[in-house]
Amino acid sequence: MKELLSKLNDAQREAVLYCDGPLLILAGAGSGKTRVLTHKVLYLIKEHNIDPLDILAVTFTNKAASEMKERIRALINVPTWDLWVNTFHAACMRILREHYETLGYTKNFVIYDDSDAKRLIKQCLIDCDIDPDQFKPKAVKNAIGRAKNNLISAEKMQSNAMTIFDKSIASVYVLYQKTMQQNDAMDFGDIIFNAVTLLQNHPEILKSYHEKFKYILVDEYQDTNHAQYTLLKLLAKKRKMICVVGDDDQSIYKFRGANIKNILNFEKDYKGVTTIKLEQNYRSTKCILDAAYSVIKHNRTRKDKKLFTENAHGEKIKCHNTRDEIEEARYVLSEIKWMNEGGKHSFKDVAVFFRTNAQCRVFEEEFFKGGIPYITVGGIEFYSRAEIKDMIAYLKIASGSNDIVSIKRSLLRPRRGIGKVTLDKVEKVMVENSTDLFSAIDIICDSSQLGAGAKKKLKEYVTLVETLRDDAKTLSIGNLVTRIYNASGYKEMLEKDTSDENIDRINNVNEFIAGAFQFEENAPDGDVSMYLDFIALVSSADKLDGDDNKVSLITLHKAKGLEYPIVFMTGMEEGIFPHANSMHEKEELEEERRLCYVGITRAKEKLFMTHASSRRQYNMPSFQRPSRFIDDIPDELITGKSKKSVFATASVRQGQRSFTNKDRDKFNKRSFHEDPHGQKFQKKVVNTFFKESPSGSAYKVGKSYLHPVFGKGKVTRVEGSTGNEKLTLFFPKAGEKKIMAKYVQLVPC
């Protein structure tokens, strides 16, 4: 322990050692905050004899949580699965799983993701006689989410509503909650809301957690919303053993309800707070740090502070203007290639940041063509693919849930001769008898409302569910998913048609199955509910795999907490960054500026900023001006700042695209989706593939290749476009096989 402490600077050490009351650590970017947190955990365990399981540590992202767990495990060997080191949502889920019955839920309650929630809200809008075209489901969902973040219940909202608008929203909110409760379901907002409600209304339960949690640590405190703030206040009320870490300059989640006042007022909220500032930056060059300060200093609502570093001044920031977004991507690509070929940096050292997910596309296209391996973080998520959502729906039902969204999904796919008409009838019976769907099926099958054919089909479905529920009691999770895939007819459905899209789907399901088996391994005592929670709460943006040598393409929001030697901040244009929707209100602009600060401070050695003069937006070219954030950086810290932007001549380059976006999509779906444990699926996708495109197919009839499973084989047929080849090979050992070249690493021999 002593040696460990000696490696910290004075402020860091003080932060680790102080354990006598509430502690606020103001930790600037790159000041070794995670290090302090993990050492503090270790210190509590070693020197204060606290059981590791009695420490609650909450973070915002799974990435941060798993990193912390990993670091704790490196210091002391404890099984990380049981540790209360979690995101807010996961920690609350754990509490709720221990007390579901108190809230009127059953042990089978499920989590709705955003799209489930949106779908249900749309239904509620219709049921409330509100036109979903006037009140957009998404907007209503946001309003409800906001209410939950502020701990406003549906009833409270209804009684507070003054305007017709508010009343409409409130009535939808009431119906939505009622339906959610009926379906035994919670959305993201409910998880926190219900945990707080539970602790507020049940002092004896709160007391049990007071006794349990000897110390509470909170990361990214500046991003807490009111509900999370209240949760912490409740849990810390008795012992006041709470340590929060944050940086007001890095608060970027106001849109999600984060309240920067939580950190600014921490000293008022808790008596006798000790505040420690970590101001030495160990990450970035002096130049980068100064540039970050030159941007952030324009904000009015912040505690003034300036980080310092002992690092070298480093190279100036390189600013570059291009004609359009395609040139921008090509510029980034050429810089990366140049650095890589010089042997100075590997691909994984590099990150490309952008403000919106939509900007990612062009980079993917150009990187794909240019043969630079990349990973995208975010964008279309693995778990939101239809086939995966279908499998999850089956899994929810098998686990015992009567969630109607899942039942409908599984009832309709694969096609089993039951359609909208039959389903409507069943649902009507369900409402009339106020019962669940399975009982409704029983009732309707005893009546004369349906033809014999439809009845038979429904009964078959019920039998399927019963079988799967029995299986769920005996099979392991991986085996259960496999059983579902086979027994539901889903596999048959997918294998019937061999279109490229379907091959993708088959692959995705196989990845999902592999993930389930892996979960089994990681969490030996986990059950199906835990696995479902895990899927719902662990977004794919977990962990960037360090040993994958790929460039990261990532939004600025997701980049928070990460660091890279080389960073490209792209789309530095007015309207993009700062975003057009956030340019006019002062508060929102300040948040954009903080986002910029976050972006700059991710860079360790070298920072690039690019902006295009013209950019296609909504399929229309629009002329762009460089971002005001570039102007904030003084000339001595940046080169290439253009006085005038280079406007594009309207030459069109569409014809040059050698592959369509559809190809790109397919490629991506297959290649770069992570499994639930942070590793990338499909490691098989190899660089040899990149090198071949786009100049003609590498696969020729008559050539021999080594297949990882089938051994040596000879190509008898090549179909499909370059990079998308469908090969027919003859293997002496395995016979003739059709193979999508990109799935498998084929070694010429």
Partner DNA sequence: ACGCCAGGTATTTTT
Partner DNA sequence: TACCTGGCGT
Binding site for DNA (CB under 7 A): 60-62, 87-90, 114, 122, 136, 138, 145, 188, 252-253, 255-256, 355-358, 361, 378, 412, 415-422, 454, 537, 539, 541, 555, 557-558, 579, 581-582, 588, 618-619, 660-662, 665
Catalytic residue among 67, 190, 220, 387: 220
Lookup: tokens for 325 = 């977004």
Q: Tokens 């502690």 identify what position?
A: 23
Lookup: tokens for 291 = 């540039």
Q: Cβ of residue 717: shortest distance to DNA, in angstroms? A: 25
Q: Cβ of residue 314: shortest distance to DNA, in angstroms? A: 28
Residue among 221, 214, 210 at smallest CA distance from 55: 214
Specify whether the backbone of 475 is left (phi greater than 0), alpha (psi in -120 to 50) or beta. beta
Q: CA Rg, the chain, in Å?
A: 28
Whichever of 256 and 714 has its CB closer to DNA, that residue is: 256
Q: Cβ of residue 375: shortest distance to DNA, in angstroms? A: 14
Q: Cβ of residue 189: shortest distance to DNA, in angstroms? A: 7
CA distance 361 to 282: 33
Whichever of 20 and 424 has its CB closer to DNA, that residue is: 424
CA distance 713 to 84: 51
Report yes or no: 96 and 90 within 8 Å, Cβ to Cβ. Answer: no
Q: Cβ of residue 236: shortest distance to DNA, in angstroms? A: 20
Catalytic residue among 116, 184, 187, 219: 219
Angstrom CA distances, 221 to 218, 230, 263, 335, 714, stand at 6, 12, 6, 37, 60
Asked about 34 being catalytic, the answer comes back as yes
Q: Cβ of residue 449: shortest distance to DNA, in angstroms? A: 12
Q: Where are the alpha helices (DSSP H) in 285-385?
A: 286-296, 325-341, 360-370
CA distance 341 to 348: 14
Burial category of 704 from C-beta neighbours within 10 Å (exposed 0-12, middle 13-18, buried 19 and up): middle
Q: Cβ of residue 65: shortest distance to DNA, in angstroms? A: 9
CA distance 601 to 288: 7
Catalytic residue among 12, 177, 250, 322: 250
Furthest CA-CA distance within the chain = 83
CA distance 723 to 622: 32
Q: Tokens 């600060």 identify what position?
A: 597
Catalytic residue among 13, 33, 283, 641: 33
Would strands 747-748 and 704-707 be described as parallel, antiparallel, or unpaired?
antiparallel
Strand partners, 680: 674
Asked about 662 being catalytic, the answer comes back as no
Whichever of 9 and 679 has its CB closer to DNA, that residue is: 679
Q: Cβ of residue 589: shortest distance to DNA, in angstroms? A: 11
Whichever of 333 and 458 has its CB closer to DNA, that residue is: 458
Q: Cβ of residue 356: shortest distance to DNA, in angstroms? A: 4
CA distance 505 to 536: 20
Whichever of 33 and 361 has its CB closer to DNA, that residue is: 361
Would strands 215-218 and 242-246 be described as parallel, antiparallel, or unpaired?
parallel
Lookup: tokens for 718 = 């090549």
Asked about 219 being catalytic, the answer comes back as yes
Asked about 495 being catalytic, the answer comes back as no
Asked about 482 being catalytic, the answer comes back as no
CA distance 353 to 495: 39
Whichever of 92 and 199 has its CB closer to DNA, that residue is: 92
For residue 522, how many other CB atoms are within 10 A of its CB? Answer: 12
Strand partners, 245: 25
For residue 50, how many other CB atoms are within 10 A of its CB? Answer: 18
Catalytic residue among 71, 316, 543, 602: 602
Query: Can you spell out the DSSP letters for 80-147?
Result: GGGSEEEEHHHHHHHHHHHSGGGGT--TT-EE--HHHHHHHHHHHHHHTT--TTTS-HHHHHHHHHHH
Whichever of 267 and 665 has its CB closer to DNA, that residue is: 665
Whichever of 530 and 686 has its CB closer to DNA, that residue is: 530
| Alpha carbons within 13 A on the beta-carbon side of 17 | 12
Report yes or no: 241 and 48 within 8 Å, Cβ to Cβ. Answer: no
- 226-236 vs 188-201: helix axis angle to the nearest 10? 30
DSSP letter (8 states) at residue 17: H
Q: Cβ of residue 362: shortest distance to DNA, in angstroms? A: 11
Q: Cβ of residue 413: shortest distance to DNA, in angstroms? A: 8
Q: Cβ of residue 141: shortest distance to DNA, in angstroms? A: 9
Whichever of 287 and 430 has its CB closer to DNA, that residue is: 430
Whichever of 149 and 311 has its CB closer to DNA, that residue is: 149
Whichever of 108 and 422 has its CB closer to DNA, that residue is: 422
Whichever of 221 and 705 has its CB closer to DNA, that residue is: 221
Angstrom CA distances, 584 to 142, 249, 261, 581, stand at 21, 20, 22, 7
- 188-201 vs 137-149: helix axis angle to the nearest 10? 30
Lookup: tokens for 14 = 């003080």
Asked about 301 being catalytic, the answer comes back as no
CA distance 237 to 228: 14
At residue 385's C-alpha, the angle toward residues 384 and 387, to 5°, is 125
Active site residues: 33-34, 219-220, 250, 602
